[in-house]
Amino acid sequence: MQTPNMTRREFARVAAVGATGIAGALVAKAAAPASPLKIAIIGDSSCIPDLRREVACLLINGKHLVDTGWCAALRMREYGFDPLALESIIISHFHQDHYIGLPQLLFYISMRKFGRQKNPAPPLNIFGPSEHLQRVVEAADAFLQIPRFPELALDRKLVPLTAGDKFEVPDLRFETFAAHHLSGKNQLEQALVYKVTDKTSGACAVFTGDTHHHPPIAEFARGASLLVHDGAHTAPKDAAQIAQQAGVKKLVLIHFSQSRAAKILAEAKAVFPNTELAEEGRTLEVSGP
C-alpha cells in the first residue's frame, strides 16, 4: 500500500520487488522435486488403541495400505485419503489387531464401487503371510455374507508371501524379511518385515510390523532412509540400536500407547537421536539416497 510519504515511483519499485519475490517462490516450489515416497501414518496405537486413535497402520503413496487396523477405512477418509484409490493391502501378520479392519474396508470399497464402474478396474492385491492369508480373507467374505450378496464381491488377487519373497507394484519394489514375533501361546508367528523402494529414485523405507528384538533386521534395513519400528514388543533402546547399525537417517517408533510415549521416545533418542514417534495423520516424506 502506498503511504503518504511514498512517491509513485517508490511504490512501483516496492511492488515490483514484492511480486518478483512471490513469483520466485512459486517457481522454486514448482521446481522442487516431489518426494517419490510418502508414508502416511493412519494409526499409531497398540493392540487395543487409545481413545480416538487407531492401531498401527500405514499408507504408502496413497495407494498401498500396510495393515488395516480396527477401522482404517474411516481413518483414511478423516485424513483426506480415498479407500477407493487403494491398489494393494499388505498385511504384516495375522494377529487380529492388524487385520480386524479388513471386512469393513472391503465392504466400504464394495459399496462405493457397486453400480458405479463403467470400466473394470484392476483387481485389488492383498499381500500377506502365506500361512493364514486365504483363511482370513475367506473369513472376511463369510462375515460380509458374500454368497448372500454376491454383488459385493470384489475382484481381487491374493498373493501369499514367505520371508525372502519380493514383489512389485507400479513404481515400487518390495522385499520381505522374517520378523521375530511370538503369539499368545509363545509360538513364533509368521510375520514379515517389508522394505519398499521407489524404482526411479531409490528412496527406501522399512516397516517391521510387530517384532520382538531381532538384530538381523539391521542388515535388512541397511541402505534405507527411514525405519518404522515396532515400539511395543521391542525395547526402545534395542530398536534404536538396530536403526544405528542399519545406518538409517530416521527412526520412527510405532505401535505404542500414549501413556508410554514420552518414556519410549527418551530412551530411544538416548541411543539414536534422530528418533520420532509415529503421529496419526502425519505424512513422512522419504528422499532418495
CB 179 within 8 A of CB 208: yes
Q: E strands within the chain?
A: 37-43, 57-60, 64-66, 88-90, 124-129, 156-161, 166-169, 172-178, 181-182, 188-189, 192-198, 204-207, 226-230, 250-254, 275-277, 283-286
Mean pLDDT, the chain, integer: 89
Confidence of residue 128 (pLDDT cuts 50, 70, 90): very high
268 pLDDT more than 90: yes
CATH of 35-280, one of 3.90.25.10, 3.40.50.1980, 2.60.40.10, 3.60.15.10: 3.60.15.10
154 pLDDT more than 60: yes
CA angle 129-232-161, nearest 5°? 10
Using the structure block, give the residue that is written with the C-alpha cell 482404517.
72
Q: Would you state the pLDDT for residue 288?
A: 83
115-129, 168-182, 230-244: range with lowest mean pLDDT: 115-129
Using the structure block, give the residue that is written with the C-alpha cell 469393513.
104
Q: Would you state the pLDDT for residue 35?
A: 75
For β-strands 250-254 and 156-161, DSSP reports them as unpaired
Q: Which of the pair, 114 or 120, is modelled with greater confidence? A: 114
pLDDT in tens, 11-44: 444 444 444 443 444 443 334 456 789 999 999 9
Q: How far is CA 217 from CA 205, 234, 244, in A?
A: 13, 12, 11
Confidence of residue 289 (pLDDT cuts 50, 70, 90): confident
157 pLDDT more than 80: yes
- Phi, psi of 45, deg, nearest 5: -90, 175
pLDDT in tens, 168-215: 999 999 999 999 999 878 899 999 999 999 999 999 999 999 999 999
Of 72, 75, 69, give the one whose Cα is nearest residue 281. Answer: 75
pLDDT in tens, 49-60: 999 999 999 999
Classify residue 282 by burial, with Cβ atoms within 10 Å: 0-12, 13-18, 19+.
middle
Q: Would you state the pLDDT for residue 183?
A: 83
pLDDT in tens, 62-100: 999 999 999 999 999 999 999 999 999 999 999 999 999
230 pLDDT more than 90: yes
Confidence of residue 5 (pLDDT cuts 50, 70, 90): very low
6-10, 188-192, 229-233, 258-262: range with lowest mean pLDDT: 6-10
Q: Would you state the pLDDT for residue 115?
A: 59
pTM: 0.86
Q: Enumerate residues 6+ apart whose C-beta is below 8 A from 221.
A: 195, 206, 227, 242, 243, 246, 248
Q: Would you state the pLDDT for residue 31?
A: 40
239-251 as b/e: b if 16+ CB within 10 A: bbbbbeebebebb
136 pLDDT more than 60: yes
User: At CB < 8 A and 24+ separation, what contacts does 104-110 make?
Assistant: 104/68, 104/71, 104/72, 104/73, 104/74, 105/65, 105/68, 105/72, 105/73, 106/140, 106/144, 106/154, 107/144, 107/152, 108/73, 108/83, 109/73, 109/83, 109/84, 109/154, 110/144, 110/152, 110/153, 110/154
